Amino acid sequence: MSRLEELSGRIDSRDARIGVVGLGYVGLPLALEFAKAGFRVTGFELDEDKVSAIAEDRSYLEDVPAQDVKAAREAGKLEATCDFGALSKTDVINVCVPTPLTKTKDPDISHIVRAVEEIRKRLRSGHLVILGSTTYPGTTHDLFIPLLEESGLEVGADFAVAFAPERIDPGNQKFPLRKVPKVVGGETPLCTALCTKVFEAIFDSVVPVSSSQSAEMVKLLENTFRAINIGLANEIALMCDRLGLDVWEVIEAAASKPYGFMRFDPGPGLGGHCIPVDPTYLAWKMKSLNFPARFIDTATEINSHMPEHVATTVGDLLNDDRIAVNGARILIMGVAYKADVSDVRESPALSIIASLEAKGAEVRYHDPHVPELRLGDRSVKSVDLTDEAIGSADLVVIVTSHSGVDYERLVASAHRVYDTRNATRDVGLGKEKVRKL
């Protein structure tokens, strides 16, 4: 019996040791699910603060209760370390590291390369290595595996490799990690089978596909679909603005159709770890094949323009009140990239604030999930949402529609409100103060 065949039995008996490289919003929830399923899990992380937090039974993610971390540690199923030497003690290694874009909008896979170099030093016969970081089609086959095979071991014979994209939606209580079907694509049928087996232990459903390239493309299709349809919704919003129509009324009525229409809402711009990034990965790959990704390029252009559209509209609204942007007091409601999370990565609020401050506006913000925000070389703190803070602003701009905010009170206390999220749709009195996207 080969070492890979032995691994299959060890997965069934929960004797396989699980490693998770990267303990961010993807890696930590994944590690905890494996621990709950009875596996011993070791998390590998460069950030010493995260390792210390886990050692002290603390959570640094809103979606992960501290009691889950404590329970896993007390059961002896979870540990975290900065020492990558412990990779040699694992049987299954999940790579969950960031894959951002460079300043020139090219894929930054340096975190993947660093992870795979650490793994290669400890790679042995019988290992299953799973890449979960979003990346362009071909990364697993053309980069990840060749780097691992520099160890002298052969994929499919000595060790197994698969790609299984993360599909986590932070803040989504309806679809926690295990309820979202897991897509897996291995380098060989055996690789796919082993990856499927290990994820069947923690996911309600696993969807195998024919190759790692197909699995990589699945992830990019999902978020490209969303980016393009959000781009359409944003363009419709711009059209309705020009036509003097309420885009939210139009969308609401269109969504009443029971077939042939899927609702997407406009907004002040795209944010987060996936939708602004993943389509660019695909477009970059296709550009190398001399294939123009026209839908992606158009949607990217529209979506990336929205923060500037918001800033321009702010200027127009202030002008209507005979107030110059230079010196105007503006209160930004919400700086996280979406409602009820603390993540500010790629948040349109950052661009909106920068644009308004460049024009001389005095900008403050309130966000119950983001008590402090880094803006360039300075840090600013969220202001308390008092009647005085609201009323002293020349304009309140709703950028993120957190659910814990009393929008009725906000509108009542505000001089004027610019609502980019339709957060004030249920407000009764004071609607004449509100301008919507």
In SS3 terms, 259-287 reads as CCCCCCCCCCCCCCCCCCCHHHHHHHHHH
What are the beta bridge partners of residue 42? 19, 79
Q: Where are the domains of the chain?
A: 3-210, 226-436
305 Cβ partners below 8 Å, 6+ apart?
A: none
pLDDT tens digit sequence for 145-188: 999 999 999 999 999 999 999 998 888 888 999 999 999 999 99
Contact criterion met (CB below 8 Å) for 348 and 267: yes
Q: Are 220 and 295 in contact (CB under 8 A)?
A: no
Matching fold, domains 3-210 and 226-436:
yes
H or E segment at 139? helix 139-139
Minimal CA–CA distance to 240: which of 266, 262, 258?
A: 266
Q: Mean pLDDT over all residues of the chain?
A: 96
Q: Please state, for a pLDDT cut of 70, what percent of the chain lies above it.
A: 100
pLDDT, average across residues 375-382:
94
Residues with catalytic roles: 274
Q: Is 359 exposed, middle or buried (0-12, 13-18, 19+ CB in 10 A)?
A: middle
pLDDT at 410 over 70: yes
Interval 5-12 mean pLDDT: 94
Assign 104 a pLDDT band (cuts: 50, 70, 90).
confident
Whether the per-residue pLDDT at 197 is higher than 90: the answer is yes
Average pLDDT over residues 191-204: 98
Tokens coding 107: 């894929």
For residue 370, give Cα distances in angstroms to 1, 204, 337, 339, 373.
53, 33, 11, 11, 7
Question: In the CATH scheme, what is the code of domain 3-210?
Answer: 3.40.50.720
Q: How far apart are CA 140 and CA 146, in angstroms?
A: 9
User: How confident is the model at residue 12, as a pLDDT?
Assistant: 95
CB distance 302 to 268 below 8 Å = no
Torsion angle defined by CA atoms of residues 290, 295, 297 and 303, in that order, rounded to the nearest 10 degrees: -160
Q: Are 227 and 300 in contact (CB under 8 A)?
A: yes
Confidence band for 274, pLDDT divided at 50, 70 and 90:
confident
Per-residue model confidence (pLDDT) at position 171:
80
pLDDT over threshold 80, residue 1? no
- Give the pLDDT confidence of 304-360 residue by residue, as tens digits: 999 999 999 999 999 999 999 999 999 999 999 999 999 999 999 999 999 999 999
| pTM of the shown model | 0.93
Average pLDDT over residues 363-374: 97
Are residues 369 and 428 in contact, defined by beta-carbon separation less than 8 angstroms? no
Q: In the chain, pLDDT over 90 holds for what percent of residues? A: 93
d(CA 93, CA 95): 6
Residue 44 has pLDDT above 90, yes or no: yes
Structure tokens at 248: 């939210």
Which residue in this structure is represented by tokens 């986590």? 168
pLDDT tens digits for 201-253?
999 999 999 999 999 999 999 999 999 999 999 999 999 999 999 999 999 99
DSSP codes joined into one string, 238-258? HHHHHHT--HHHHHHHHTT-S
Give the residue among 402, 320, 406, 318 at the shortest CA–CA distance from 363: 318
Q: Which CATH superfamily groups domain 226-436?
A: NAD(P)-binding Rossmann-like Domain (3.40.50.720)
Cα(11)–Cα(127) distance, integer angstroms:
12
Predicted pLDDT of residue 132: 97
CB 215 within 8 A of CB 132: no
Distance, in Å, from the CA atom of 154 to the CA atom of 127, rounded to the nearest integer, reads 11
The arithmetic mean of pLDDT across residues 66-94, rounded, is 97
Q: How far apart are CA 151 and CA 122, in angstroms?
A: 9
For position 340, what pLDDT does the model report? Answer: 93
| Nearest-angstrom CA–CA distance, 238 and 261 | 20
Nearest in space to 235 (alpha carbons), one of 271, 257, 264, 255: 264
